[in-house]
Amino acid sequence: MLELPKFKAAAVQAAPVYLNIDATIDKACALIKEAAGQGATLIAFPEVFVAGYPYWNWVMNPVEGSPWFEKLCRSAIEVPGPEVRRLQQAARTHGVHLVIGINERSATGIGTLYNTVLTIGSDGRILGRHRKLVPTWAEKLTWSNGDASSLRVHRTAIGPLGALACGENTNTLARFALLAQGELVHVASYISLPVTPADYDMAEAIRLRSAAHAFEGKVFNIVACSTISPEIVEAMTATHPASRELLARRNSAFSGILGPDGRVIGEPLIDEEGIVYADIDLSRCIQPRQMHDITGHYNRFDIFDLQVNRRPQASARFLDPVPGPLTQEDCGAPFEPTSEESL
């Protein structure tokens, strides 16, 4: 008899403490405790919540924004690392699955950053570290391309769980790659971005993209978006006053939870900080697939053939010669990687 999980999901809509790692981790841990206290066992946070989005790329030219890039490098974190361990401990303490966006600094390149989504299990293990495949538009001034080594769906107690960051949720092939692995729960992380044309409703655009994935894949979509705090506005307008009007625009953030019919469950959050909750019953993903199962009977795999390269990309491959058998004295103490170090 097929039994599918039921659980409560939480989508956090909040601003980080801008470019302050420790204070943002403190805020994240407090929000995790709050959501877990309401019974949530999946908690989704916004894109690069730790510890902020490079808004200067949109309101300054590259030369003017360069000092801010250095600030972001200094406030980025490595995986594994002490900040990540605090998030792991919070997930383990409260028994929740956690999906959270971070600015990740390369361990071998202090000026190379990634827009990374971390997925942490309820036992505190790191399940996935997904680096955004393609930074969007002005984001290319800040982040490097990720690869597909972590374009994976994680088998968890709350069901098959996948995640993408912001604009990736418009990448049809990336979304299909997750659906093809049996994804039933999707987390889409976003940032509030009010620098679009004046007639563009960003909140509606996020809802529309989220509904598309939920409806096409017949999955639940947990959408978490950041907000722009007065602190962020003041930081950007100190040297560029004209950006105040842009950054203060309404209808720029949407957080909510959508069902496999593409409709929002309950009331979403628009612009304001808070947490959205919804009860999830994955059995609701079954019946709609009788009509459309795009990774199953409603497709033509004799016509379409998607290949995904999940080999990790690296700057160099080192082929070290081994002159002869190594002794224990040559190697030192035995090395036993932890779940984090295996990343």
The dihedrals phi and psi of 155, each to the nearest 5 degrees, come to: -85, 115
- Rounded CA gap, 343 and 187, in Å? 21
Where does the pLDDT of residue 327 fall: very low under 50, low under 70, confident under 90, or very high at 90 and above? low
Per-residue pLDDT at 20 exceeds 80: yes
Active-site residue, 71 included: no
When pLDDT is averaged across residues 54-58 and rounded to a whole number, the result is: 97
Out of 83, 139, 166, 183, which one is annotated catalytic?
Answer: 166
Highest-pLDDT range among 130-144, 184-198, 316-330: 130-144
Average of per-residue pLDDT across 121-138: 98
User: Is the predicted pLDDT of residue 19 greater than 90, yes or no?
Assistant: yes
pLDDT at 328: 57
Rounded distance between C-alpha atoms, residue 154 and residue 226, angstroms: 24
Task: List, for residues 218-255, the tens digit of each pLDDT value.
Answer: 999 999 999 999 999 999 999 999 999 999 899 999 99
Q: Is the peptide bond before 15 cis (omega within 30 degrees of 0)?
A: no
The domains of the chain are located at 6-290
Choose between 1 and 323: higher pLDDT. Answer: 1
DSSP letter (8 states) at residue 77: B
Q: Which residues of 256-276 are buried (b: 16+ CB within 10 A; e: fewer)?
A: bbbbbebebbeebbbbeeebb
Q: Is the pLDDT of residue 335 over 50?
A: no
Q: What is the pLDDT of residue 199?
A: 86
Q: What is the pTM for the complete model shown?
A: 0.93
* Among 47, 104, 168, 183, the one annotated catalytic: 47
Domain spanning 6-290, CATH class: alpha beta
Q: What is the pLDDT of residues 140-165, one digit of tens each?
A: 999 999 999 999 999 999 999 999 99
What is the share, in percent, of the chain residues with pLDDT greater than 90?
A: 89
Cα dihedral 77, 80, 84, 86, rounded to 10, equals: -130
Q: Is 34 a catalytic site residue?
A: no
Structure-token match 């309404």, residue found: 250
Distance of CA 285 to CAs 42, 71, 84, 219, Å? Answer: 18, 44, 33, 6
Give tens-digit pLDDT for 168-213.
999 999 999 999 999 999 999 999 998 878 889 999 999 999 999 9
pLDDT at position 341, please?
A: 44
Chain-centroid distance of CA 169 in Å reads 11
Strand order across the 220-225 sheet: 154-156, 159-165, 185-190, 220-225, 254-258, 269-270
One of 8, 27, 104, 132 is an active-site residue; which one?
132
Q: Is residue 166 flagged as an active site residue?
A: yes
Average of pLDDT values for 314-319? 89
pLDDT of residue 338 exceeding 80: no
Give Cα separations from 268 to 184, 260, 281 (angstroms): 21, 16, 19
